[in-house]
C-alpha cells in the first residue's frame, strides 16, 4: 500500500508539501509515498514537471503503472489543472476502491473531482464553509486550508497516534505555538 501525490506542470506544490512531511515523520512511522503523473516518460519530458512555485520535481511513477488496489491515498493539488485534466486521470480515479483508498483534493484539484462526479451527495467544501472537509475517505480543501487539509488527510490515512498528537500538530503548524 502506498500514498500517491499527483504532480503536473503548474501544480501548487505548497498545498501538498505539509501532508508529505506528515507522512514522512508520522509518530506511527514513515508512510510510503510517491509522486506520480499522467502520461509516460516519453510524452512528459522524462517525468519532470515545474510547479507553480518554480520547482522542478521528478515523478517516481506514472498513473498507468499504479495498481489501484495498492493505493492508500491519492492526493491532488491545485494549480493549472488543464495540464492533467483528461480521460486517463478520470479512469484512474474511478478505478480506485473508494472503501479502501482515500481521495484528497485541494484548490483546483477539487474542481477535477467535481467534474469527474466524485462530489455529488458528499459533504465537501462546496457544501460547507470550512477550510477542509472530510466525508469518509474523501477530503476536500480550499487553497488557504493546506494545514487543515494535511491534518484531515492525515487523520483519514491514520498518520496520528491519538487526539493529543493531532492537537499538538495543529498547535504547531496552524497556530504557531511551540514549547520552549
Cell of 135: 466525508
Tell whether the model's pLDDT for residue 61 goes beyond 60.
yes
- Under 8 Å CB-to-CB from 87, ≥6 apart: which residues? none
Q: What is the pLDDT of residue 134?
A: 98
Cα pseudo-dihedral 117, 148, 19, 73, rounded to 10: -30
Beta-carbon neighbour count of residue 180 at 10 Å? 3
Question: What pTM does this model have?
Answer: 0.95
Q: What is the pLDDT of residue 178?
A: 80
Cα distance between residue 33 and residue 175, in whole Å = 27
How deeply is 111 buried, as exposed, middle or buried, from its count of CB atoms within 10 A (0-12, 13-18, 19+)? middle
In order of their start, the domains of the chain are 2-173 (3.40.50.880)
Tell whether the model's pLDDT for residue 180 goes beyond 70.
no
- Average pLDDT (149-175) is 96
Contact 89, 63 (CB under 8 A): yes
- Average pLDDT (43-49) is 82
Q: What is the pLDDT of residues 63-93, one digit of tens each?
A: 999 999 999 999 999 999 999 999 999 999 9
Quick one: which of 98, 113, 105 has its CA closest to 150?
Answer: 105
Amino acid at each position: 500500500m502506498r500514498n500517491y501525490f499527483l504532480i503536473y506542470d503548474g501544480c501548487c506544490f505548497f498545498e501538498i508539501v505539509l501532508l508529505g512531511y506528515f507522512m514522512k515523520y508520522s509518530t506511527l512511522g514513515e508512510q510510503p509515498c510517491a509522486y506520480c503523473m499522467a502520461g509516460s516518460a516519453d510524452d512528459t519530458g522524462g517525468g519532470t514537471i515545474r510547479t507553480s512555485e518554480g520547482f522542478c520535481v521528478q515523478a517516481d511513477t506514472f498513473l498507468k503503472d499504479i495498481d489501484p488496489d495498492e493505493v492508500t491515498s491519492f492526493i491532488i493539488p491545485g494549480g493549472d489543472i488543464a495540464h492533467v485534466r483528461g480521460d486517463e486521470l478520470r479512469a484512474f480515479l474511478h478505478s480506485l476502491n473508494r472503501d479502501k483508498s482515500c481521495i484528497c483534493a485541494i484548490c483546483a484539484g477539487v474542481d477535477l473531482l467535481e467534474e469527474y462526479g466524485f462530489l455529488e451527495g458528499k459533504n465537501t467544501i462546496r457544501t460547507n464553509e470550512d477550510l477542509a472537509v472530510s466525508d469518509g475517505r474523501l477530503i476536500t480543501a480550499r487553497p488557504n486550508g493546506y494545514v487543515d487539509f494535511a491534518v484531515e488527510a492525515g487523520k483519514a490515512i491514520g498518520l496520528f497516534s491519538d487526539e493529543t498528537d493531532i492537537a499538538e500538530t495543529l498547535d504547531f503548524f496552524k497556530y504557531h505555538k511551540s514549547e520552549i
